[in-house]
Chains A and B, each alone.
Chain A
Amino acid sequence: MTHPEGPVLCVRGIDKSFGHVEALTDVFLEVHRHEVVALVGDNAAGKSTLAKIIAGVLQPDAGLIELDGQPVTIPSAAAAHALGIATVFQDLALCENLDVVDNLFLGRELHRHRRSWLRGDQRRTLAVDDAAMEDEAREILTALTSRIPSVRTPVHGLSAGQRQTVAIARTLLGRPRVVVLDEPTASLSVAQTAEVLTHVDSLRELGHAVILISHNMADVRAVADRIEVLRHGRNNGSFVASRASHEEILAAITGVTRR
């Protein structure tokens, strides 16, 4: 692979054990701007463990993580967010009772300065800027070519695909460089899958580096540039999506040896 710019995120030599179970052994992964890298593998191949390490949820036993060529440590999820790494996990972690805007900005509300004329002392106080949040929410959803009609709809009124959209949109708030999506199309209908895959395409067009974890080979091959196979916690093949066949990738996942 020749890329004019270096990778945004590069992890190398990652080891991670849970007791005697070796979840990851000497794993390598890198992702560039405007690139979707798919991470595929069987259950317990270590996909989600790697995602959690990149998201700062788990700490590797050994290995190096580089962001824009600089070695970094990601001690917590907040640190990952500060470094520009955003992750959407399978459970989405949305608040059912809150609307789309509130979910997007939960814990990161925009504030505006307000002069308190009433007291005459012109002391500045902070107020939640609802209008600005609503505008930005609309902007992000439009950039994702989303079709959620109202940003004031409570999340419990949305379809599974639309919820995924909200979760993806939330990651975009901090203008992250790397977006990690863990099984975004699991248990979605074809139409909802279409919506989510279109969003992944938009993320790539917007210049984000995307790591897509999925079981579904059709979805992966539709949107990914590169496909990295994990098997028993080790790298077991790297494919250029436009040139690799379905069968080759399956062989690497299941460990079929070819002569």
Chain B
Amino acid sequence: MAAVKRFGGLTQVELAAATGLSAATVSTIVKELAAAGVLETTTTSRSGRRALRVTIARQAGLVAGVHIGPRGLTVALGDLAHEVVADQSLPLPVDHRADTTLDRVALLVVDLFEKVGASLDELQAVGVALAAPVDAATGIVAVRGALPGWEDTAVGPVLEKRLGKPVHLDTDATLGAFAEHLLGAGRPVRDLLYVRLSYATSAGLVLGGRLHRGGTGTAGQLGHVRVDPTGPLCPCGNRGCLDTEVGEAALLEHVRPALGDVTLRDVIRRARTGDPGCARVLTDAARRTGEVVAGLVTVLDPQLVVVGGELAHADAGAVEALRESVRRNSLPHRFATADVVAGSLGTRAELLGALELARAQTDVAEGVTG
């Protein structure tokens, strides 16, 4: 199963080679799973010979999820049963432009359909998680400097025109919260605060079991909470935003004297492989973020704070530091305190959230519950 998922679709012979099982064993397993409706087989030809192509059985159409960040994008296809059928990542240049990137998104979606042997007609909807606050009314990036090169582009209509299917767009932290609530660490609770530590800092809110987007769709912009009235200018136009202390540029400035010009991914890798300096920079940033999160916890009283994003998953110390900081700075409750945990979906939470968004919209359209 894992092998079929990893490669999207492959022939029975390839499956035997990929899993190391004998052809007969694979054939038996595939037959059983096909009978159970989990796998699907179609006849095709490989190198001129007849072959049996094995794919995951798709239930009632496919949805596509896209996560667009400052330095990379990921596209995934999922079926309506919460399964990811295929995915592909693409590194992106600094300040990538909306037109080029969206063109590549459309081509990757089409290519993934080819890979799993499906036709584009099966696509029901597309969910896009964008690493910037999106205005709900216009679908345009709402904050200056959040994603340079994307300010004037309405992502939804551009992709809808290319793919001919409905496109639903939201901020990545919001969709991260959605995914952790539906599938991950936040499943047991109704009030959830999702904190995303990445190139920028942001949050997603689930209140009373519902996703909270706010009046204009930009709820959760944690990185733009002011922490220093006389601090440096933020690209958004304000001074002393949290991100001027814990955003990508600030973190890289902290490590520059010791490491020179490195990328955020280097800092993450070094922290993960035991570099005490880089781990320290990440935990200090998490502690500072925790002070702001503590304010939110006091006001909103969530049952659980889930921490996600690349920085959180680089080093266990970061989540620990954020937990400490929230405990110390939020209202001391006499009976219970909100727990702070690492997300269980890893760095894919936002992508899964985008798929769930597309699924949710499809469910509504077809009146399917579940």
Interface residues of A (CB under 8 A from B): 1-4, 34, 147, 149-154, 156-157, 189-191, 193-195, 197-198, 200-201, 205, 218, 220-223, 225, 240-243, 245-246
Chain B positions 204 through 219: 1 when the CB is less than 8 Å from some CB of chain A, otherwise 0: 0000000000000000
- Verify B89–A152 contact, CB threshold 8 A: no
- Cross-interface CB contact of B94 among A3, A191, A197, A221, cutoff 8 Å: A221
A225 touching B260 in the complex, CB below 8 Å, given contacts A190-B108, A191-B88: no
Q: Say yes or no: A190-B263 contact (C-beta < 8 A), given A149-B15, A195-B88, A221-B94.
A: no
Closest to A201 in B: B91
Inter-chain contact total with CB atoms closer than 8 Å: 88
Taking CB atoms, residues of chain A closer than 8 Å to B100 are: 218
Contacting A242 at CB < 8 Å: which of B6, B104, B263?
B263
Given contacts A34-B266, A149-B7, A222-B91, contact A191 B17 (CB under 8 A): no
CA distance A156 to B48 in the complex (A): 12
Check if A191 sits within 8 Å of B259, measured CB to CB: no
Is there contact, CB below 8 Å, between A222 and B92? yes
Name the one of A4, A197, A243 contacting B91, with C-beta atoms under 8 angstroms. Answer: A197
The digit string for B1-34, where 1 denotes a CB below 8 A from any CB of A, is: 0010011101001110110000000000000000
Residue ID in chain A nearest B256 by CB atoms: A2
Tally B residues with Cβ within 8 Å of A. Answer: 38
C-alpha spacing A4/B95, complex, angstroms: 28
How far is it, in angstroms, between the C-alpha of A152 and the C-alpha of B17 when the chains are bound? 7
**Chain A to chain B contacts (Cβ below 8 Å), 22 pairs:** A2-B260, A3-B260, A34-B266, A150-B10, A150-B13, A150-B14, A150-B17, A151-B17, A191-B112, A193-B90, A194-B104, A197-B90, A197-B91, A198-B91, A218-B93, A222-B90, A225-B261, A240-B261, A241-B93, A242-B261, A243-B94, A246-B93
Sorted nearest first, the 7 A-B pairs with minimum C-beta distance are: A221-B93, A150-B17, A191-B111, A2-B260, A194-B90, A190-B107, A149-B14
A37 to chain B minimum Cβ distance, whole angstroms, is 12
Cβ distance B324 to chain A, nearest Cβ, rounded Å:
30
Q: Which residues of A contact B258 (CB under 8 A)?
A: 4
A190-B107, A190-B111, A222-B93 known; A153 vs B14 contact (CB < 8 Å): yes
Distance between A171 CB and nearest chain B CB, rounded to angstroms: 20
Query: Is the CB of B328 closer than 8 A to any CB of chain A?
Result: no
Chain A CB within 10 Å — which of B8, B88, B259 has the most? B88
List chain B residues, Cβ under 8 A from A2: 259-261
- Distance of B8 from chain A, by nearest CB (Å): 8
B18 A150 Cβ-Cβ under 8 A = yes
B111 touches A242 (CB 8 A): no
Q: Which of A198, A222, A223, A241 has the most CB of B within 10 A?
A: A222
- Per the 8 Å Cβ criterion, residues 79-127 of B in contact with A are 88-96, 100, 104, 107-108, 111-112, 115
Q: Contact at A194–B89, with CB atoms within 8 Å? A: yes
CB-defined contacts of B226 to chain A, threshold 8 Å: none
Q: What residues of chain B lie closer than 8 Å to A221, measured between beta carbons?
A: 93-94
B113 to chain A, nearest CB (A): 11
CB of B47 closer than 8 Å to a CB of A = yes
Residues of B within 8 A of A200 (CB): 91
Interface, chain B (partner A; CB < 8 A): 3, 6-8, 10, 13-15, 17-18, 46-47, 71-72, 88-96, 100, 104, 107-108, 111-112, 115, 258-261, 263, 265-266, 269
Distance of A40 from chain B, by nearest CB (Å): 13
Q: Which residues of B contact A205 (CB under 8 A)?
A: 265, 269
Q: Are B17 and A149 in contact (CB under 8 A)?
A: yes
**Bound-complex Cα distance A184 to B192 (A):** 45
Which residues from chain B contact A34 at a C-beta distance below 8 Å?
266, 269
A152→B23 CA distance, assembly (Å): 14
Apart from A190-B111, A223-B91, 20 more pairs, CB < 8 Å: A2-B259, A2-B260, A4-B259, A34-B269, A147-B7, A149-B14, A150-B18, A151-B17, A152-B17, A154-B47, A157-B46, A189-B111, A190-B90, A194-B89, A197-B91, A201-B91, A205-B269, A218-B96, A222-B71, A240-B261
Residues of A near B17 (CB, < 8 A) are: 149-153
In the bound complex, how far is the Cα of B259 from the Cα of A204, in angstroms? 16
Q: Which residues of A contact B104 (CB under 8 A)?
A: 190, 194
Q: Which residue of B lies closest to A192 (CB)?
A: B111
Return A122 CB to nearest CB of chain B, in Å: 32
A190 and chain B: residue at smallest CB distance: B107
Residue A147 contacts which of B6, B47, B261 (CB distance < 8 angstroms)?
Answer: B6
Alpha-carbon gap, A256 to B15, bound state (A): 54
Q: Which residue of A lies closest to B249 (CB)?
A: A242
Q: In the complex, how many angstroms separate the beta carbon of B118 from the nearest chain A beta carbon?
A: 15
A220–B91 alpha-carbon span in the complex (Å):
10
Contacting pair A1 B88 (CB below 8 A) = no
The answer to whether A191 and B108 touch across the interface, beta carbons within 8 angstroms, is: yes
Task: Determine if B107 and A198 form an interchain contact, defined as CB atoms under 8 angstroms apart.
Answer: no
Inter-chain contact B91/A191, CB cutoff 8 Å: no
Q: Which of B6, B8, B94, B261 touches A1 (beta carbons < 8 Å)?
A: B261
Residues of chain A within 8 A of B13, CB atoms compared: 150
Q: Which residue of B lies closest to A135 (CB)?
A: B20
Give the shortest distance, in Å, between B18 (CB) and chain A (any CB). Answer: 5
Min CB gap B191→A, angstroms: 37
CB neighbours (8 Å) of B265 from chain A are 205
Q: Of B15, B47, B93, which is in contact with the most chain A CB atoms at under 10 Å from its CB?
A: B93
- In contact, A198 and B90 (Cβ under 8 angstroms): yes
Looking at the assembled complex, report how far the CB atom of A59 sits from the nearest CB atom of chain B, in whole angstroms: 33
**Shortest beta-carbon distance from A34 to chain B in Å:** 7
Minimum CB–CB distance from B270 to chain A (whole Å) comes to 9
Tell me the bound Cα distance from A190 to B75 in angstroms: 12
Q: Contacts A153-B14, A205-B269, A242-B263: A189 and B47 contacting too (C-beta < 8 A)?
A: no
